[in-house]
Every structure is written in structure tokens, then in C-alpha cells.
Amino acid sequence: MVQDIIVVGGGVIGSSIAYRLAQAGAKVTIVERGRIGCESSRAGAGMLAPQSEARSPGPFFDLCMDSFRLYRDFASELSELSGIDVEYRDEGALHVFFEDEEKRDSEEWTAWQAGAGLALEALTREDLAALEPAIRRENIGGVFLASEHQIENRKMMEALAVALKRAGVRVVEGEDVREILVEGERAVGVDCDSGRLGAGTIVVASGSWSSSLLARAGVDISIVPARGQMVAVKGREAPIRHVVHSRDCYLVPRLDGRILIGATVEYEGFEKRNTPKGVASLLLSGMGLVPDLESFEVVEMWSGLRPDTPDHLPVLGPAGLANLLLATGHFRNGLLLAPKTAELISRYVIDGSSAAEMEPFSLSRFAVDRNIESLARP
Ligand code: GLY
């Protein structure tokens, strides 16, 4: 019998976990300091991009691919349940090079992916002109990743909020979790703004806000916010059909005609805002990639805080205190990794069967080598 569960954090990770656990018959409460999906899950661009994000083979790439394979069904399940189209799109993505050095830098990356049998096609300048005529002509070719997809993450978070209600999850919004309640070596509940809640299992999925909460329970993990600024522009017609990456930015076309330009990676604490420097660099990079954007209207700008760990990998599984689990630190890949994280954590709670799969992402990896703290952040 699965006991009552509290999930701290109502981003895409916490919400997906709560949804799967409730479907499995657990009594689940989500406590979210703002509203469901109001932080980095909303701020992202919704790219489902395991190949673009991974630099080498290994457990992280496998985790990304596993989650990617679950996505089409996850997205259609949420769309059907909620009546909200989450705009799952599968056109693929392009990487464009403007200098020999960029092309050379990508060779190792493309070689191992091609060697692993992943969809990846080298493109000449002429190929690019045929696929996306609006890309600046001075390019020297690129790569097409047919398997990269996208979702409209704002809609997905709306759909997840409906799914939580349908699955019977109790959603507590606008409440901060001040403390994890600990008795002996065991977590027994949380202390929120409005009082205490007891639970048999507590899952911390509060992204950039996880570290301080965990530290107060004696769990030591550094998760820092990595700010990403974004700008959206819109013109009479969308100039591109695919997600397009250059060294300096990515462009994501939405069905409503907006083009999202992302994203900065900045370590400025919890300062969630747009800066002239950030916005200017995104606009310049975007126009450098697709010159037609010059005359577009800037329709929105925003920023979000990616939760980054010392080795940039998520932290999944036991927290070193009985009944306390971690599902946090997903950095640039929270949206992509949500279905797999939900599957792993819910299986762990139900029968412990995912313990080995989560091992590469365990908190204990930091205890083994404290020097990892000194790895450079990108
Ligand atoms: N996943 C893209 C980003 O974090 O900017």
C-alpha cells in the first residue's frame, strides 16, 4: 500500500510525478509556492532535444532518450485528458554553422551520434536554403536532426494542471514549504505557511529552490539558478518551420506565429528579469541567423531560473533520510526529462524497482568526489 505523498514543487517535474503517483493509487498533495508551472517550466522553449543537448554518450544521454521516447504518448495523454492541445511537433531541428571553427567543433559530437545510429544528416548551404530559405546566406552548412521535437510548454503546463485535478491530486498553490519535518533519521512531513502536513513520502522537486529547503533538513546539495532570458518576436508570416540553432542562440517557431529567441545562461542568483544586455544579445543573434526578424515586432520577453547542479546533471532518488526523495536539478532539460523522471520516481515509491536506473543520478555521487563542486559552470 502506497502511503500519502507530498510533492514539493509544482513545475513540470513535480506535477508529472504527482500525476503518475495518483494514477497508481497514491494519495498525493503538491505544495507549490506560486502556481502550477509558473517558473522555469513556463519559461523554457519546449524543445525536446536530446541530441542537441548531449555532448557525449552515457547515462545522461540514455535518460534523455528514454524520456524522449515516452513523450509522444505523454503529450497525447495530456492533450486528450485536458482538451488542451499541447502542440507536439516533430519537424526536426537544424544546427547552422557560420565559421569553419563551429563546424570543426561539432565533428566529435556528430561522429558519436552518427556512430550510435541516431538520425543526423549533414547539410550543405544549398540544402539549408531549400529547407529554410530565410536563414542567412553566408552560412557554411549545418546538420539536420530529424528526431528533435517540440511542445508548447505553457499549454503543457495548463494541461498538466487539469490532469492533476482529474487524477485526484490535492494542489496547494501559493504556499511556501518552510521546513521538511524530520524525526530521528526519517522525514515525516512538511511545515507550510498554513501549517503542518504529514506524509509517508516527501519528494522534493522544487528546482532552484531545492537547496535551501534541503539544507535545513541537513541534506547538502548545491543547486543554483541559471537564468535564461527569452524574447518572442512576431511578423506577418513565420520565416522558419523548424527549430534552428546557431552557436549563439536558438529560434523556436510556434504555431501562433511567434518566434522564440533563446536563451542566455547567467548565474545571477534569483534575479529573474530581463536585462538590456541579455535582450540585445538575443535579438542580435536571432537577426544574425534569420535577417527577416529585423522588421518583426517584439511581443514578449521573460526569463526563468534553470536549476543547475555542480555537474549539470539531475539529482534523482533517495536523499539520505528515510522517506525523502529528490527529483531536482534538471538544468536545461526539465521539460524533456519529465515523463522519465515521473516514471522512475513513481516506480521507486511503489516497489523500489527503479533504484539501479537512478543510481548515476544519486545524491551520493557528490559525496564520492567533493572536487566535483569545482567543475566550471558553462
Ligand atoms: N533547453 C534550452 C535552455 O535551457 O535554454
332 ligand 1 Cβ < 6 A: yes
Q: Which residues pair with 144 in a beta bridge?
A: 94, 121
The cell for 171 is 494542489
Query: H or E segment at 117?
Result: none
Task: Region of 95 please: left (phi>0), alpha (psi -120 to 50) or beta.
Answer: beta
- Chain-centre distance of CA 238, in angstroms? 25
> CA angle, corner 209, sides to 2 and 177, nearest 5?
55
Q: Which amino acid is at 39?
A: E
pLDDT string in tens for the chain (378-residue length): 456 999 999 999 999 999 999 999 999 999 999 999 999 999 999 999 999 988 889 999 999 999 999 999 999 999 999 999 999 999 999 999 999 999 988 888 889 998 888 989 999 999 999 999 999 999 999 999 999 999 999 999 999 999 999 999 999 999 999 999 999 999 999 999 889 999 999 999 999 999 999 999 999 999 999 999 999 999 999 999 999 999 999 999 999 999 999 999 999 999 999 999 999 999 999 999 999 999 999 999 999 999 999 999 999 999 999 999 999 999 999 999 999 999 999 999 999 999 999 999 999 999 855 444 444 444
Phi and psi dihedrals of 128, rounded to 5?
-65, -40
Which three-class secondary structure state does DSSP give residue 249? Answer: coil
Distance CA 362, CA 158 (A): 30
Alpha helices by DSSP H, 44-152: 50-53, 59-82, 100-115, 125-131
Q: How far is the CA of 74 from the centre of ligand 1 (A)?
A: 20
337 ligand 1 Cβ < 6 A: no
Distance CA 263, CA 111 (A): 26
46 ligand 1 Cβ < 6 A: no
The cell for 149 is 521535437
The protein residue whose alpha carbon is closest to atom 2 in ligand 1 is 332
The protein residue whose alpha carbon is closest to atom 3 in ligand 1 is 332
306 ligand 1 Cβ < 6 A: yes
Distance CA 374, CA 10 (A): 30
Distance CA 18, CA 27 (A): 9
